[in-house]
Amino acid sequence: MPDAVSAPPRGDHGREPRRRDPERRQRILTAAADLVAARGYHEVAMTDIGAAAGITGSGIYRHFDGKSDVLVTMFDRVIDDLSAGAAQIASSAAGPLDALRALIRGQLSFVVADRTLAQVYYYEIANLPAGDRQRLRRKQRLYLDEWVRQLALLEPGTPDATLRARVHAAIGAIQSVLQYRSGLAAPELAALISGSAEVVLTGPVAGCTGR
């Protein structure tokens, strides 16, 4: 007799267990971002997301436990990608000014290229469960710490509170594009906003004694 070969594990009724399809998962995340950006988190149901992603019935629950899980996954990707970019910049930049300019470009690229996702992140993070919201806020702080560290290298002796205020103001300038349609071509808008953010970080401020 031939050697016995173990059969692959099967699910109910002898069928092969279902494997999660990463492309389907991404379709769900994309559909959720579009719908939440258009309607708001509380006006979107899981069935809406499933229908927009081309997934009917309970199929969407094979990938996510619920609507907040979709949002958490989406936001984790955002901050993890930004943090990974910041770490790469810190290890490869020629100096703190180059690093800050690269950080500005990375943040701006996310806001302009992924405007819908950025809008959802900016406006809907407060709707996450408290534990997930706090965890993501910690990740955000670590990301911002890299901005502060590079600015401190550029301007040694500046109080930490002043450095952090400048970083938040610069990122606020970048995120301001989420609140209106400028009518400018993308390259022109990017140049304008990145220049403004750099001035906020490094330019003189009237009446500021923290430098």
- Which residue in 171, 46, 52 sits closest to 106, CA to CA? 171
- pLDDT value, residue 93: 82
pLDDT tens per residue across span 48-95: 999 999 987 678 888 999 999 999 999 999 999 999 999 999 999 889
> Which residue has tokens 């969407």?
60
Rounded mean pLDDT, 22-51: 92
Counting every residue written for the chain, the total comes to: 211
Q: Is 130 left (phi over 0), alpha (psi -120 to 50) or beta?
A: alpha
The confidence score (pLDDT) of residue 3 equals: 41
Element (H, E) at 176: none
pLDDT, position 9: 43
Tokens describing residue 93? 């930049």
Domains of the chain by start residue, with CATH: 19-64 (1.10.10), 66-202 (1.10.357.10)
Instruction: Select from 109, 119, 122 the least CA-distant residue to 187.
Output: 109
Burial label, 77 (beta-carbon count in 10 A; 0-12, 13-18, 19+): middle
- Can you read off the two tokens belonging to residue 158? 């500046």
From 18, 19, 71, select the one nearest 44 (Cα to Cα). Answer: 71
Put simply, whether the predicted model's pTM sits higher than 0.95 gets the answer no
Rounded Cα gap, residues 177 and 194, in angstroms: 11
Alpha helices in the chain (DSSP H): 22-39, 46-53, 67-92, 96-113, 115-124, 130-154, 160-175, 186-202
Count of other CB atoms within 10 angstroms of residue 50: 22
Q: Is residue 11 scored above 70 in pLDDT?
A: no
35 vs 17, residue with greater confidence = 35
pLDDT of residue 21: 65
